[in-house]
């Protein structure tokens, strides 16, 4: 490894000083220096994962350092500073793009930080924290990946690899042979390891490789968390300037704008148990009425919508055509739709009939039960009656459901905390006792 | 050495050829071959695995005595891909992606093989089989099983040259006498050659429109040497087959173009990078190269010009779309994974082996040869003032006359649709999946640098075709052909494919359409090379171009897959 570094550390010819602007701040640097490096030296945070000062030309693989360079989006690591270069790091678009790329990595890999040996020393996790990633906007891809225990000194955790290329470029044997290489292509791309070459590495070289990896994909056997929690590399402070860090803090949810929000509720193929639970906040209900009013709901017995509502709470799934129509009307009349309780989420108890053909069910209930007299009963059918569906459908198979509150029934605190959060953005946490049902 | 500073990995220009030898010997690359090869080139076996697994025509497991690659491009899909696919499985007894128990047949899908005018098409042991249908598949497989030599079973590929400009304004498809262009070099200085090309305003025919004369001039000025000329014959963009026709109809025209470029730039060696899908033309091209050597038009003192030595060799690709990107092609030629390089240097500064290299498309080089032969004035006669000359367009899809059209710049979409006898055209894809889609509202747009720039593919789809199927095919293609190096392209195409599948199931919401726009935009600005940057162009544009199609697909909160009538069908039985 040493050889290769020395070889690549070519002397840059001394060049004149230039002035560049980063987010309006004037900075003097030597012409041709790397932008990420210059920003770092001047205390300006440009997120990056694959950039590694020894590797020239830079890898440009992770794309996390994208900024506006002279008005055009481009990765900062690929820029050599030149006179009058104007860099904008923290524009809303660039912040969002960088965040999106990190979120993509979380959606593509299988990252379980609490169980990771590099947790707290992991650049990916660190970037996630610095950018305020709390959830990935992308659907998780659930790509099946392996953990490779074959190498002599290392364990390769493919679930965590972000394909930054650092190990491919930097980890070489004494004869200069590659230990790692990208294999396959497209979404099947993985970093493969050569067992034969890996065995030639010393323990120190293996540890250096582990350190080089920006995530926990390269582990060395027998090496676990190097430092206790609290002492790890990224445990204590943000690398961003304080004002930046402040900006990242969620704006206080002081949105309790004093106009009343409108709620509608309904029970479809349910037992009204969820509605009973809603009432179980007891006197809290009076406080609730200070800030919300109910439109169509069994609670006040309003049968028809009289206005557009902010939120609709649905209990029960759909077992007949009337349920379907009602649910669709709720979708039209409510901005946010929440499925409350198991029946609305997946069908619940009424869905027990889904294993039996409808015909058998009805015949058993109306024609063949022990209390029916042969020939005197029929299966009810009238154009005024709702039509029975072939099976019980969960609500999200009929309309788009925005949120789900599980439970049978969900705890009243759970329901109203969730509703308050949705309506006013109140921070909340659900206590263990509020969602534990056994 | 300069080359070493550019990349820490040594280049192995002979590696791809060596791997082909092993592949051809046993039908796949065995473990012992890998070991042997790793010793021979003194590189670790994982580096080799990395290279092998990048190209989809290299196999590490037996791929059958007869390896069948069926094209799964969108044109093929619409022309009966599914039925042909089933027929192959039925007749050979193998499943796609596998080999039959006897090891005789291996079935694989592959992206566009440049035969869009005669789909569905397949390659069997790299020989072409066109216009396939169930019956033909049965006959072909039966003959192979009887032991008829495959060379006798395969099809002759039609050139399908459908149109040339009237009034002898044609540049490409006109009478051709090999050597007429090269011999024009006599008495011209390299500067004069560049000047002539500059005067013709010839620009890159691959679709990027970089002025060819400028590129040559800049390369000529580079102090480093030796210099190289690379002919990009890797037209992988689905729906493009104009280079195939050019090379099949007049194989040596590109060779002349390379020699001319070599003379202008001061290069001594040219490399023709031929995509493996066109292996069936390899012998023909090599024969012509051979002939040129015999005629004194290649080798030492080319065409009798004292001191001008020029050699051409052919480099066979191994199956990868992204290698069509020039820097990826350079990597591939150096025996590496065909990943695009970071844009620190242009190929004219540091290209093949880190040395100044001109990479030109087949059509560009052929045009250059014609310009020298016929004079820039002839070239300027055709086309418009800003986009002079003619352009080859590969037309495929729902039209009665698929094939290659040599059009003059300035021709409108409407005129081309009429020429090719398009069938109720509704959706047109210009420049392949990475290009743009247009509707009949754009029919007055003209092919030119300023308006509708086209790399060479023009796919026509009638109003009976499902746009979502087209987009899903494109996105799947990009997902598989992404080199996998940068995050936005590798993960983004995968994510968007999932999104489109959701749409296909009827589960998409309005917000999903918004997501496609936003995520597509992130890929456009953040990806590392042209593949990722352009992969979502069509997807985003389609949403704007065909609102009437997507309106009915969008469910503003309602799941259109749920059918109330169907759900109550069982109950209706009780209606007395």
What is the CATH number for A121? 3.30.70.20
Question: Closest partner residue to A60 among B50, B342, B482, by Cβ?
Answer: B342
What does B487-507 look like in DSSP terms, one character per residue? Answer: HHHHHHHHHHHHHHHHHHTT-
Same domain (yes/no): A174, A306: no
Q: Which residue of A has its CA nearest to B35?
A: A196
Closest CA–CA distance from residue A110 to any residue of chain B (Å): 13
Residue A248 lies in a domain: no
User: Looking at the structure, do residues A148 and A184 belong to the same domain, yes or no?
Assistant: yes
Give the pLDDT confidence score for residue A274 in this predicted structure: 95
Q: B381, B415, B444: which is the final residue of a domain?
A: B381
Single out the residue in B153, B175, B210 at which a domain terminates.
B153
Q: Locate the chain A residue with the closest alpha carbon to B485.
A: A61
Are A186 and B481 an interchain contact pair (Cβ–Cβ within 8 Å)? Answer: yes
Q: Could you tell me the CATH number of the domain that includes residue B108?
A: 3.40.30.10
The Cα B548–Cα B543 span in angstroms is 9
- Between CA B326 and CA A97 the distance in angstroms is 27
| Most distant CA pair in chain B, distance | 101
Interface residue of A187, A318, A326, A403 to substitute, partner B, most B CBs within 10 Å: A187
Whether B145 and B176 map to the same domain: the answer is: no
* Angstroms from B31 CA to nearest CA on chain A: 14
In this structure, the answer to whether residues A158 and A292 fall within a common structural domain is no
Same domain, A78 and A102: no
Q: Does A331 touch chain B (CB under 8 A)?
A: yes
Exposed e or buried b per residue across B496-516, where buried means at least 16 C-beta atoms within 10 angstroms of its C-beta:
bbbbbeebeeebbbeebbebb
Contact B351, B343 (CB under 8 A): no
Per-residue tokens: B227: 């210099």
Q: Does residue A244 lie within any of the structural domains?
A: no
- Residues B316 and B276 sit within 8 Å (Cβ to Cβ): yes
- pTM, two decimals, is 0.82
Mutate to test the interface with A, among B43, B485, B506 (most CBs of A within 10 A): B485
Query: Containing domain of residue A62, as a range?
Result: 2-7+17-90
Residues 6+ apart with CB under 8 A from A325: none
> Hey, is the C-beta of A199 within 8 angstroms of any chain B C-beta?
no
Instruction: Provide the residue range defining the domain that includes B101.
Output: 66-153
Contacts for B303 with CB less than 8 Å, ≥ 6 apart = B179, B182, B183, B185, B186, B296, B297
- Per residue of chain B (576 residues), give pLDDT as tens: 333 434 445 789 999 999 999 999 999 999 999 999 999 998 999 999 999 999 999 999 999 999 999 999 999 999 999 999 999 999 999 999 999 999 999 999 999 999 999 999 999 999 999 999 999 999 999 999 999 999 999 999 999 999 999 988 899 999 999 989 999 999 899 999 999 999 999 999 887 889 999 999 999 999 988 999 999 999 999 999 999 999 999 999 999 999 999 999 999 999 999 999 999 999 999 999 999 999 999 999 988 888 999 999 999 999 999 999 999 999 999 999 999 988 888 999 999 998 999 999 999 999 999 999 999 999 998 888 888 999 999 999 999 999 999 999 999 999 999 999 998 999 999 999 999 999 999 999 999 888 888 889 999 999 999 999 999 999 999 999 999 999 999 999 999 999 998 888 777 777 888 899 999 999 999 999 989 999 999 999 999 999 888 877 666 677 777 889 999 999 998 887
The secondary structure element, H or E, covering residue B521 is helix B510-526
Q: What is the CATH number of the domain that holds B330?
A: 3.40.50.11540
**Would you call A388 and B571 a contact, using CB atoms and an 8 Å cutoff?**
yes
Q: Flag whether B427 is in a domain.
A: no
CATH number assigned to the domain comprising residue A329: 3.40.50.700
Q: What is the pLDDT of residue A242?
A: 55
Q: Closest partner residue to A63 among B53, B488, B564, by Cβ?
A: B488
How many CB atoms are located within 10 Å of the residue B17 CB? 15
Tell me: do B176 and B291 sit in the same domain. yes
The reply to whether B419 falls in a domain is no
Q: What are the helix (H) ranges across A280-431?
A: 284-291, 321-333, 342-346, 358-362, 412-424
Is A396 found in the same domain as A329? yes
Instruction: For residues B316 and B172, state if they share a domain.
Output: yes
How long is chain A?
438
Of A107, A165, A358, the CB nearest to B495: A107
| Of B42, B491, B568, Cβ closest to residue A389 | B568
E-state strands within A270-402: 292-294, 309-315, 318-320, 334-340, 388-393
**Statement to judge: residues B347 and B479 lie in one domain:** no
From chain A, the residues in CB contact with B11 under 8 A are none
- Which CATH number fits the domain that encloses residue A79? 3.10.20.740
Rounded to whole angstroms, how far apart are CA atoms A348 and A329?
Answer: 22
Q: What is the pLDDT of residue A119?
A: 86
Shortest CA gap A437–chain B (Å): 32
Q: Look at residue B565 and tell me if it is in a domain.
A: no
d(CA A3, CA A8): 9
Question: Do residues B100 and B81 both lie within one domain?
Answer: yes
Torsion of Cα atoms, B470 then B476 then B482 then B488, to 10°: 90
Residues A346 and A294 occupy one common structural domain: yes
Q: With respect to residue B85, please indicate whether it lies within any of the assigned structural domains.
A: yes
Tell me: do B186 and B320 sit in the same domain.
Answer: yes
Q: Do A181 and B46 count as a contact with CB atoms less than 8 A apart?
A: yes
Tell me whether B54 touches chain A (CB under 8 Å).
Answer: yes
B362 assigned to some structural domain:
yes
Q: Do A229 and A104 share a structural domain?
A: yes
Q: Is B482 an 8 Å CB contact of chain A?
A: yes
Residues A75, A103, single domain; the answer is no
B167 and B145 fall within a common domain:
no
Q: Is residue A147 part of a domain?
A: yes
Q: Domain for residue A347, yes or no?
A: yes
Report the relative pairing of strands A334-340 and A403-405 from DSSP bridges: parallel
**What does the DSSP 8-state code read for residue A367?**
I
> Last residue of some domain: A214, A233, A252?
A233
Residues of chain A with pLDDT under 50: 1-13, 244-257
Q: Does B66 touch chain A (CB under 8 A)?
A: no
Tell me: do B223 and B363 sit in the same domain: yes
Residues A294 and A375 placed together within one structural domain of the fold: yes
Interface ipTM: 0.88
Q: How many CB pairs under 8 A join A and B?
A: 208
C-alpha distance from A183 to closest chain B C-alpha (Å):
4
Site from A6, A10, A63, A214 to mutate, B interface, most B CB atoms within 10 angstroms: A63
* Interface contact A354, partner B, CB < 8 A: no
In a domain, B388, yes or no: no
Give the end-to-end CA distance of chain B in Å, rounded to a whole number: 92
Residue A77 lies in a domain: yes
Residues in chain B within 8 Å Cβ distance of A357? 570
CB-based burial label for A118 (10 Å; 0-12, 13-18, 19+): buried
* Residue written as token pair 């820039």: B376
Last residue of a domain, one of B122, B153, B184: B153
Give yes or no: residues B179 and B321 share one domain.
yes
**B575 assigned to some structural domain:** no
B237 and B320 housed in the same domain? yes
Q: Are residues A312 and A360 in the same domain?
A: yes
Is residue B91 situated within a structural domain?
Answer: yes
Work out the end-to-end distance of chain A between its first and last CA atoms, rounded to an integer number of angstroms.
57
Residues A59 and A147 placed together within one structural domain of the fold: no
Optimal mutation site among A104, A144, A188, interface B, most CBs of chain B within 10 A? A104
> Is A133 within a domain?
yes
Interface of A with B in 240-299 (CB under 8 A): none
Quick one: B549 and B476 in the same domain?
A: yes
Domain identity same for B139 and B80:
yes
The span from the CA of B61 to the CA of B33, in Å, is 12
Measured distance CA(A357)–CA(A337) in Å, rounded = 30
Q: B265, B111 in Cβ contact below 8 A?
A: no
Q: How far apart are CA A2 and CA A362, in angstroms?
A: 79
| pLDDT for A349 | 92
Residue A246 lies in a domain: no
DSSP-based three-state secondary structure for A122: coil
Q: pLDDT tens for residues B291-341? A: 999 999 999 998 888 899 999 999 999 999 999 999 999 999 999 999 998
Do A31 and A108 lie in a common domain?
A: no
In this complex, is the C-beta atom of A68 within 8 Å of any C-beta atom belonging to chain B? no
Residue whose token pair is 């002979």: B14
Number of domains in chain B: 4
Q: What is the number of structural domains in chain A?
A: 3
d(CA B250, CA B255): 10
Sheet containing strand B311-316, edge to edge, reads B311-316, B269-274, B228-233, B357-361
């Amino acid at each position: 490894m040493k050889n290769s570094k020395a070889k690549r550390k070519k002397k840059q010819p001394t060049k004149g000083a230039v002035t560049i602007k980063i987010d309006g701040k004037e900075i003097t640097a030597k012409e041709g220096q790397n932008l990420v490096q210059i920003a770092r030296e001047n205390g300006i945070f440009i997120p990056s994962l694959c950039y590694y000062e020894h590797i020239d030309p830079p890898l440009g693989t992770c794309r996390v350092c994208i900024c506006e360079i002279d008005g055009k989006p481009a990765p900062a690591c690929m820029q050599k500073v030149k006179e009058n270069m104007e860099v904008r790091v923290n524009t809303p678009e660039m912040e969002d793009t960088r965040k999106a790329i990190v979120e993509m990595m979380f959606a593509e890999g299988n990252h379980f930080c609490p169980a990771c040996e590099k947790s707290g020393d992991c650049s990916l996790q660190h970037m996630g924290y610095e950018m305020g990633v709390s959830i990935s906007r992308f659907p998780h891809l659930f790509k099946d990946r392996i953990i490779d225990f074959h190498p002599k000194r290392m364990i390769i955790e493919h679930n965590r690899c972000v394909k930054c290329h650092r190990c491919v470029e930097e980890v070489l044997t004494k004869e200069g042979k590659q230990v790692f290489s990208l294999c396959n292509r497209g979404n099947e791309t993985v970093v493969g390891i050569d067992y034969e070459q890996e065995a030639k590495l010393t323990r120190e070289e293996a540890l250096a490789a582990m350190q080089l990896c920006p995530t926990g994909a390269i582990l060395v056997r027998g090496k676990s968390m190097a430092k206790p929690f609290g002492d790890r590399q990224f445990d204590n402070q943000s690398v961003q300037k304080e004002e930046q860090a402040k900006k990242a803090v969620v704006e206080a949810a002081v949105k309790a704008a004093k106009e009343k929000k409108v709620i509608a509720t309904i029970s479809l193929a349910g037992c009204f148990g969820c509605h009973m639970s809603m009432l179980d906040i007891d006197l809290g209900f009076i406080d609730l009425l200070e800030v919300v009013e109910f439109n169509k709901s069994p609670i006040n017995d309003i049968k028809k919508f009289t206005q557009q509502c902010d939120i609709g709470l649905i209990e029960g799934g759909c077992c007949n055509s009337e349920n379907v129509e009602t649910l669709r009307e709720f979708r039209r009349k409510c901005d946010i739709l929440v499925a409350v309780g198991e029946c609305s989420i997946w069908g619940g108890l009424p869905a027990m009939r889904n294993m039996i053909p409808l015909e058998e069910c009805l015949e058993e209930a109306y024609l063949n039960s022990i209390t029916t007299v042969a020939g005197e009963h029929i299966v009810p059918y009238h154009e005024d009656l709702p039509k029975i569906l072939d099976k019980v459908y969960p609500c999200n198979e009929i309309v788009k459901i925005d949120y789900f509150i599980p439970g049978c029934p969900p705890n009243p605190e759970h329901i109203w905390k969730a509703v308050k959060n949705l309506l006013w953005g109140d921070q909340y946490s659900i206590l263990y006792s509020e969602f534990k049902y056994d | 050495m300069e080359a070493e500073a550019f990349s820490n990995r040594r280049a192995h220009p002979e590696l791809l050829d060596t791997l082909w030898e092993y592949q051809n010997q046993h039908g796949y690359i065995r473990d012992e071959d890998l070991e042997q090869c790793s010793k021979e080139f003194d590189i670790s076996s994982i580096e080799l695995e990395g290279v092998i697994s990048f190209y989809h025509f290299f196999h590490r497991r037996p791929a059958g005595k007869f390896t069948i690659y069926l094209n799964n491009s969108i044109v093929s899909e619409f022309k009966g891909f599914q039925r042909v696919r089933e027929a192959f499985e039925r007749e050979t007894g193998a499943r796609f992606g596998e080999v039959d128990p006897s090891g005789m047949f291996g079935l694989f899908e592959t992206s566009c093989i440049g035969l869009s005018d005669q789909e569905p098409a397949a390659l069997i042991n790299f020989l072409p089989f066109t216009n396939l249908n169930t019956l033909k598949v049965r006959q072909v497989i039966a003959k192979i099983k009887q032991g008829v030599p495959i060379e006798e079973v395969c099809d002759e590929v039609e050139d399908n040259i459908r149109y040339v400009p009237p009034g002898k304004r044609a540049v490409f498809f006109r009478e051709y006498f090999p050597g007429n262009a090269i011999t024009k070099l006599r008495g011209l200085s390299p500067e004069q050659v560049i000047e002539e090309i500059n005067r013709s305003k010839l620009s890159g025919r691959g679709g990027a429109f970089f002025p060819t004369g400028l590129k040559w001039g800049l390369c000529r000025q580079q102090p480093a040497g030796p210099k190289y000329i690379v002919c990009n014959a890797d037209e992988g963009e689905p729906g493009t087959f104009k280079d195939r026709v050019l090379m099949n109809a007049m194989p040596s025209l590109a060779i002349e173009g390379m020699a001319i470029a070599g003379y202008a730039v001061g290069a001594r060696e040219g490399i023709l990078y031929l995509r493996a899908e066109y292996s069936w033309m390899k012998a023909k091209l090599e024969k012509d190269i051979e002939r040129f050597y015999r005629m004194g038009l290649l080798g030492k003192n080319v065409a009798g010009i004292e001191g001008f030595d020029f050699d051409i060799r052919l480099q066979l690709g191994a199956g990868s779309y992204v290698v069509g990107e020039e820097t990826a092609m350079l990597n591939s030629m150096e025996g590496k994974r065909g990943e695009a390089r970071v844009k620190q240097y242009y190929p004219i500064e540091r290209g093949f082996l880190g040395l100044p290299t001109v990479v030109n498309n087949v059509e560009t080089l052929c045009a250059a040869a014609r310009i020298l032969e016929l004079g820039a004035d002839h070239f300027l006669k055709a086309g418009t003032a800003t986009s002079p000359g003619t352009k080859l367009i590969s037309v495929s899809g729902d039209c009665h006359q698929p094939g290659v059209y040599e059009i003059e710049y300035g021709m409108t979409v409407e005129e081309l649709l009429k020429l090719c006898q398009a069938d109720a055209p509704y959706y047109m894809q210009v420049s392949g999946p990475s290009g743009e889609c247009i509707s009949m509202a754009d029919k007055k747009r003209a092919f030119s640098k300023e308006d509708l720039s086209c790399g060479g593919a023009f796919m026509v789809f009638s109003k009976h075709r499902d746009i979502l199927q087209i987009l899903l095919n494109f996105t799947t293609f990009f997902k598989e052909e992404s080199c996998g190096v940068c995050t936005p392209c590798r993960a983004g195409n995968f994510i968007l494919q999932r999104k489109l599948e959701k749409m296909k199931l009827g589960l998409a919401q309005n917000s999903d359409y918004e997501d496609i726009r936003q995520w597509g935009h992130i890929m456009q600005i953040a990806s590392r090379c042209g593949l990722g940057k352009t992969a979502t162009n069509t997807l985003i544009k389609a949403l704007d171009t065909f609102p009437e199609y997507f309106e009915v697909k969008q469910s503003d909160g309602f799941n259109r897959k749920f059918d109330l009538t169907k759900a109550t069908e069982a109950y209706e039985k009780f209606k007395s």
